[in-house]
Amino acid sequence: MTSQETERLDGVMTREGSRLRNFIRRRVADPRITVIRQPNRGVSSARNAGLANASGTHLLFLDADDMLHPLALERLSGALDASPRAVAAYGTAWLVFEDGRPYPQKALHRRGASHPSGNVLARMMRENVLLVGMTMLRTAIGRELRGFDTRLRLGEDWEFWCRLAARGEFRFIGTHPEVSRIRVRGGSASGQLSHTWENHLPAVQAIVSNPALAARFERAEWRRLTRQVLASHLWEAGRMNFSARRYAEARRLMLRALAKDLTAKRLALFAIAQASQLLGVSLYPRLRFVDEDI
């Protein structure tokens, strides 16, 4: 995306966000929009309420004040209409700070990166490649799966995507234009919970103990995948600790991840993390220190 295109998109999204806020304030009657209120029982319960009350054939969840590109719904729904076997379609997202400034990591899914289509279950189990605000699913299948697991406080979206991927194919719609802009919040619930390895365990256990997922793989492949799932979440917990400069815990978790599933990429990132610690500055976007974002 060129700088001029980015500026135009910034303007469109800013105007659209402002219009939406003004619309809600004025409570303009519109039969296409329904406001549902319920006691605060967490994000999964809120999403499930939307799923239960949705009347359309396709559904996209949009959290807080994240912003969709004006063409996002058209492009995502078109991909689903053109792919009868697909259960979901997704695009790319740009990360921004709460005030709208671009996050240093820029695009969550960069041009040239791998964007899987088709059977994505194994890839999804190894790594959550999606965010809620960039993915559209078929409403009926979401209901068949009974939505998000409200018992999970962390990784509830990843666990849901895995169950959804076991039901059918995913379609990637391309990198341009980006589907949404996702705001990075320093005090988010997931950010606070991700430092502690024990908080990852409920979602991990829900995946590795799910017989419907295990049935999709040969026994040896399933054993390998479950090791990779554990390694992935150990690494993520270590990465979050490193970003908070909790070096001892970060090193412990990262080494456990390497012991479970030694990959060249993780080994290189571990070396970068050690160099970043010695120099006191982050050397790679995924190992960015959160205090640098203030």
Sequence-ordered alpha helix ranges (H) in the chain: 3-26, 43-53, 72-82, 121-126, 139-144, 156-165, 189-193, 197-208, 211-214, 219-243, 247-260, 264-279
Whole-number Å distance between alpha carbons of 75 and 73: 6
Identify whether the C-beta of residue 145 lies closer than 8 Å to the C-beta of residue 164: yes
Identify whether the C-beta of residue 286 lies closer than 8 Å to the C-beta of residue 104: no
Per-domain residue ranges for the chain?
3-183, 194-293
The pLDDT, as a whole number, for residue 252 is 98
* Cα 25 → chain centroid: 29
Identify whether the C-beta of residue 75 lies closer than 8 Å to the C-beta of residue 179: yes
With CA atoms as reference, report the closest residue to 54 among 42, 46, 65, 64: 46
Q: Which two tokens stand for residue 30?
A: 């519109």
The pLDDT, as a whole number, for residue 111 is 42
Identify whether the C-beta of residue 184 lies closer than 8 Å to the C-beta of residue 95: yes
The pLDDT, as a whole number, for residue 17 is 54
Q: What is the pLDDT along the chain (294 residues), one digit of tens a residue?
A: 445 544 554 554 455 555 655 655 555 567 777 888 889 888 999 999 999 999 999 999 998 778 899 999 999 999 999 999 999 999 998 888 777 777 765 545 444 457 889 999 999 999 888 888 899 999 999 999 999 999 999 999 999 999 999 999 999 999 888 899 888 776 566 667 889 999 999 999 999 999 999 999 999 999 999 999 999 999 999 999 999 999 999 999 999 999 999 999 999 999 999 999 999 998 888 888 888 765
> Could you tell me the CATH superfamily of domain 3-183?
Spore Coat Polysaccharide Biosynthesis Protein SpsA; Chain A (3.90.550.10)
The pLDDT, as a whole number, for residue 263 is 95
Q: Which two tokens stand for residue 222?
A: 């399933």
With CA atoms as reference, report the closest residue to 125 among 200, 237, 254, 226: 226
The pLDDT, as a whole number, for residue 219 is 96
The pLDDT, as a whole number, for residue 116 is 86
3 state SS for 55-89 = CCCEEECCCCCCEECCCHHHHHHHHHHHCCCEEEE
